[in-house]
Chain A
Amino acid sequence: DAGVIQSPRHEVTEMGQEVTLRCKPISGHNSLFWYRQTMMRGLELLIYFNNNVPIDDSGMPEDRFSAKMPNASFSTLKIQPSEPRDSAVYFCASSLRGGKSSYNEQFFGPGTRLTVL
């Protein structure tokens, strides 16, 4: 398996522009997570999907952030309009809930480094 795939790997944009980050989870996984990582705050969970349905979006910072999962193999995280404080590394992770392991281990993608100027 190719693992979790994210695109783009790097994104540089200007304040006010729309940014869309993409994620393809591991095939067969039914849970998907979007995280943000900064030096100041570490890793923060933004939103969690289970079977394509958003379960917990309490970590989404504000209305400028939105996430969708139209099918089991694709998710997007959109920021509109972007601000300099959104600069961070955004990770997508997937797991298999209810699988053989009760640990529901999360597998992370390589991340998207976003810089908003």
Chain B
Amino acid sequence: KNQVEQSPQSLIILEGKNCTLQCNYTVSPFSNLRWYKQDTGRGPVSLTIMTFSENTKSNGRYTATLDADTKQSSLHITASQLSDSASYICVVSVGDSNYQLIWGAGTKLIIKP
């Protein structure tokens, strides 16, 4: 069964600190892995998209890694800001489909001043 599991479920850190969110997946055939940020009351916004051959990709203070062998990904946030408070969702695309996405449950991140 295609699944995406994320950890932790929630995380509270102080402003300025770094953090890493984890994603494990069992999706076949794998096409790409995406990280989305969802602010409260808004739709998800794409942060990064990585294919099988990419093992790291950055978007500002966000750096995603992908290990296709172990089927694990992480999202590292550097020097956190209050605006980073949101849910971060790991999503894996199935095969060549452009719409079959397996969504994780998300990690709720709270940044405290």
Interface residues of A (CB under 8 A from B): 4, 31, 33, 42-45, 48, 55-56, 91, 93, 95, 97, 103-111
Does B98 reach chain A (CB closer than 8 Å)? Answer: yes
Contact indicator B49/A105 (Cβ below 8 Å):
yes
30 residue pairs bridging A and B, Cβ less than 8 Å apart:
A31-B98, A33-B99, A42-B103, A42-B105, A42-B106, A43-B44, A43-B89, A43-B103, A44-B103, A45-B101, A48-B99, A91-B43, A91-B44, A93-B43, A95-B98, A103-B34, A103-B49, A103-B93, A104-B98, A105-B46, A105-B49, A106-B101, A107-B46, A108-B44, A108-B45, A110-B41, A110-B42, A110-B43, A111-B41, A111-B43
Q: Which chain B positions have C-beta within 8 A of A33?
A: 99
Chain B interface residues toward A at CB < 8 A: 32, 34, 41-46, 49, 89, 93, 98-101, 103-106
- Give CA–CA (A103, B101) in the complex, Å: 12
Give chain B residues whose Cβ lies under 8 Å from the Cβ of A44.
Answer: 103
Are B43 and A108 neighbours in the complex by a CB distance under 8 Å? Answer: yes
CB distance from A115 to the nearest CB of B (A): 14
Q: Main SS of the interface on chain A?
A: strand
C-alpha gap A95/B98 in the complex (Å):
9
Top 10 A-B pairs ranked by shortest CB distance?
A108-B43, A104-B98, A48-B99, A43-B103, A103-B49, A97-B98, A42-B105, A108-B44, A91-B43, A105-B46
B93, B99, B100: most-surrounded residue (chain A CB, <10 A): B99
